[in-house]
Structure 1
Amino acid sequence: MSQLTIDTVQDDTSLRAWTEVVDAVDVWGVTSFEDARYLREAQAGRVDYVLRREGVPVGAAFVRPRGGGSETPCAVAGIWVRPEHRRNGLGTRLHDTLSTHARGLGMRELEIEAYESQEDALCFLGNRGYQEVTRHTELVLELDDVPMPEVRPPPGITFITREGREDLLPGMYQVAREAIPDIPMDGEDEVGTFEDWRASDIDRPIHTPDLTFVALHGDEVVGYAVLQRAQRGVAFHSLTGVKRAWRGRGIASALKRAQIAGAKKAGFKRLVTENVVENAPIRHLNEKMGYRTLPGAIVFRGPLVGSTEPTRPR
């Protein structure tokens, strides 16, 4: 019988092993070592695990409390096992470990995301009582197939990047406080404090100032859009938000064109975005701009191992 060990990530060596597994298994392979290290430090209560078989890293997982001041008794988690090592109980071992830790935090459920294309993951979660909470469509724009867009902000609006402009952050936070709660979601989506928002949406290594576009009316921040620097020629859309009073004027679509232009200039080959299925306006905008729909992502919630409480119907 092969030797299996599950260790908590304690140093850069074990974190590199964790990152290599996630990068090999994840649909997009976007987890850089630098970003993984940042998240470990920034997300309070986060614990990462590496599963080794005969000393070789073949599985990875993490668990953390929900951010933003949420009181929901549900922890956020992730599980990855290399394909050639699946169906040997390794995912179950990691799930047991996450459940034990989450129960110690007073949690009753885990929230895990899986893609529609990941049949193994969907079966794994379904067999353990997980139920769908929300679903995102996945869209991709092949940047070599589209011309450089003309970026023309609406009258009275100017666009700048965040480079050297720390003074813009309070205004951007106010945009997030209006934009994020208005995203159609089945469940809560907390913005949290300014410090919470900054840690998750601004200071991550994948969120660089040169690819953060801010819409100004005079000195007022009325909208912004962020690109995430991924790997393998891929960039991801993060939040594109506009203050409620300024919506319907073409700011969001102009910010989207600024992102496309910025990604092309930076040498990226693909732009990827996720839209909540219920968010019809942004889905329509993306499709109008040439984004192609791919199999999407599903967020599940399910009971901890050994829980006597069934997952609430949704």
Structure 2
Amino acid sequence: MTPTVRDFRPSDAKAVAELRRAVLPFLLSTPQGIAWEVATAPAAQRLRLFVAELDGRVVGAIRAVLLHDAGVPGQAAATPQVHPDHRGRGAGHALLTAAEDHLAAAGATRLYAWAVDGTGAPAFAERHGYRRTRQARFLRLDLKAAALPPLPTALPPGVRLHTGADVEADPRRLYEADAEAAADEPGDVPADALAYEDWLLRTWEHPHLDLDLTSVVTVDGEIASFTLAATDGRTRYSSAMTGTRRAFRGRGLARLAKTASLLRARDAGYTEAVTGNDAANAPMLAVNRAFGYRPCAGEWRYVRELRRD
């Protein structure tokens, strides 16, 4: 049977979450998170979430978006995900075609996708005209067994440690720190044009974000470093972003923020921590290795130029 591709419906949220957990077990995926991302997508993102059905069951999905937070226009992203039990029946090709057509019509000229290493995804991408650019790594930490370092008994002068809830009255300061840190992350498309209103929707108000587990480090009252903590509400914790503003780097503040966040996560009953880093992000990889994170999967970034008819 030929797969049917259609737009996501709210009733698909549970099926898409289960699909993503089957394809990408090292990422957070919940029905609430998926429904939120679709319902609150900024108009400039031109988001469409397509699903593929076989025999009345959702077996694949693809999230097609313009990278509207990039300073260079025309950048887009879409990665097909097909359940391992239903590959080889045309669902991936049908999903990718739908995403490419939508994004080309929306003005995209370059499309980025990810392909998990050690699967058929890299070969699939190359068959469809995509070329490999860079590598990223997913890492996992057993929170129950991890030998996490204790917090220092005394902080340096002027340094204070807070939770995300402590800055809830004025999240713009955290947005500014996040935007500065994200702009310096290695990658193909710098996220250097993210508006505050979009950050509020995508990050601060996202149902996965846990303000009590999020850590913020201030120096003389200025936000210097932070760890944004996301959870699935059950057992899994994810570092959504850890960063330090340029003027405060090299002082161990990111390690301090992440230490506090991981300790609180373990105390809250979370048993597994996951994160992802670009393979060229040596400073963050070193921090994560020191905590005991170990690689659990790798993926490659692919890109293809799109033509608009």
TM-score by length of 2: 0.90
Q: Tell me, what secondary structure is at the counterpart of 2:241? A: strand
What is the deviation of 1:92? 0.9
Q: Tell me, what secondary structure is at the counterpart of 1:144? A: coil
**CA–CA separation in structure 2 for the residues paired with 1:303 and 1:231:** 39
- Give the equivalent residue in structure 1 for 2:123: 123
- Give the equivalent residue in structure 2 for 1:264: 266
**Matching of residues 193-232 of structure 1 within 5 Å:** 193-230=195-232
What is the deviation of 1:70? 4.0
**CA–CA separation in structure 2 for the residues paired with 1:71 and 1:217:** 33
**CA–CA separation in structure 1 for the residues paired with 2:186 and 2:128:** 27
Q: Any conservation in 2 of the 1:77–1:110 contact (CA below 8 Å)?
A: yes
| Structure 1 residues 259 and 197, CA gap change in structure 2 (3 angstroms) | same
Q: Any conservation in 2 of the 1:32–1:231 contact (CA below 8 Å)?
A: no
**CA–CA separation in structure 1 for the residues paired with 2:143 and 2:20:** 26
Q: Which runs of 5+ in 1 are unaligned?
A: 310-314
Q: Any conservation in 1 of the 2:70–2:190 contact (CA below 8 Å)?
A: no
Q: Tell me, what secondary structure is at the counterpart of 1:209? A: coil
Q: Any conservation in 1 of the 2:3–2:94 contact (CA below 8 Å)?
A: no
Q: Tell me, what secondary structure is at the counterpart of 1:293? A: strand
Percent pairwise identity:
26
> Once structures 1 and 2 are overlaid, which stretch shifts more, 61-70 or 38-47?
61-70
1:302 aligned to 281, 299, 304, which one? 304
| Structure 1 residues 90 and 234, CA gap change in structure 2 (3 angstroms) | same
| RMSD of aligned residue pairs (Cα, Å) | 2.2
| Structure 1 residues 166 and 135, CA gap change in structure 2 (3 angstroms) | same
- Give the equivalent residue in structure 2 for 1:180: 182
- Give the equivalent residue in structure 2 for 1:143: 143
Q: Tell me, what secondary structure is at the counterpart of 2:292? A: coil
Q: Tell me, what secondary structure is at the counterpart of 1:50? A: strand
**CA–CA separation in structure 2 for the residues paired with 1:282 and 1:16:** 33
What is the deviation of 1:69? 5.3
Q: Which runs of 5+ in 2 are unaligned?
A: none
**CA–CA separation in structure 2 for the residues paired with 1:167 and 1:232:** 27
Q: Tell me, what secondary structure is at the counterpart of 1:111? A: strand
**CA–CA separation in structure 1 for the residues paired with 2:297 and 2:12:** 32
Q: Which amino acid counterpart does residue 80 of structure 1 have in structure 2?
A: Q
**CA–CA separation in structure 2 for the residues paired with 1:230 and 1:135:** 26
Q: Any conservation in 1 of the 2:138–2:296 contact (CA below 8 Å)?
A: yes
Q: Which amino acid counterpart does residue 34 of structure 2 have in structure 1?
A: A
**Matching of residues 229-248 of structure 1 within 5 Å:** 229-230=231-232, 233-248=235-250
Q: Is residue 39 from structure 1 mapped to residue 41 from structure 2 by the alignment?
A: no
What is the deviation of 1:155? 3.4
2:28 aligned to 2, 19, 30, which one? 30
Q: Is residue 281 from structure 1 mapped to residue 283 from structure 2 by the alignment?
A: yes
- Give the equivalent residue in structure 2 for 1:19: 17
- Give the equivalent residue in structure 2 for 1:312: none
| Structure 1 residues 138 and 26, CA gap change in structure 2 (3 angstroms) | closer
- Per-residue CA deviation, residues 42-84 of structure 1 (Å, 9 max, x unaligned), is 2232111221112122121221111315443232112111122
- Give the equivalent residue in structure 1 for 2:73: 72
Q: Any conservation in 1 of the 2:71–2:193 contact (CA below 8 Å)?
A: no
TM-score by length of 1: 0.88
Q: Which amino acid counterpart does residue 143 of structure 2 have in structure 1?
A: L
- Per-residue CA deviation, residues 179-198 of structure 1 (Å, 9 max, x unaligned), is 11222223322251111222
**CA–CA separation in structure 1 for the residues paired with 2:69 and 2:295:** 30
What is the deviation of 1:25? 2.1
**CA–CA separation in structure 2 for the residues paired with 1:27 and 1:245:** 36
- Per-residue CA deviation, residues 73-115 of structure 1 (Å, 9 max, x unaligned), is 2321121111222112221111111111112102233211222
**CA–CA separation in structure 1 for the residues paired with 2:70 and 2:291:** 36
| Structure 1 residues 298 and 266, CA gap change in structure 2 (3 angstroms) | farther
> Once structures 1 and 2 are overlaid, which stretch shifts more, 221-230 or 188-197?
188-197
Q: Any conservation in 1 of the 2:16–2:61 contact (CA below 8 Å)?
A: yes
Q: Which amino acid counterpart does residue 43 of structure 1 have in structure 2?
A: A
- Per-residue CA deviation, residues 278-297 of structure 1 (Å, 9 max, x unaligned), is 22122222222222123322
**CA–CA separation in structure 1 for the residues paired with 2:121 and 2:227:** 31
**CA–CA separation in structure 2 for the residues paired with 1:284 and 1:264:** 21
Q: Which amino acid counterpart does residue 236 of structure 1 have in structure 2?
A: S
**CA–CA separation in structure 2 for the residues paired with 1:149 and 1:142:** 14
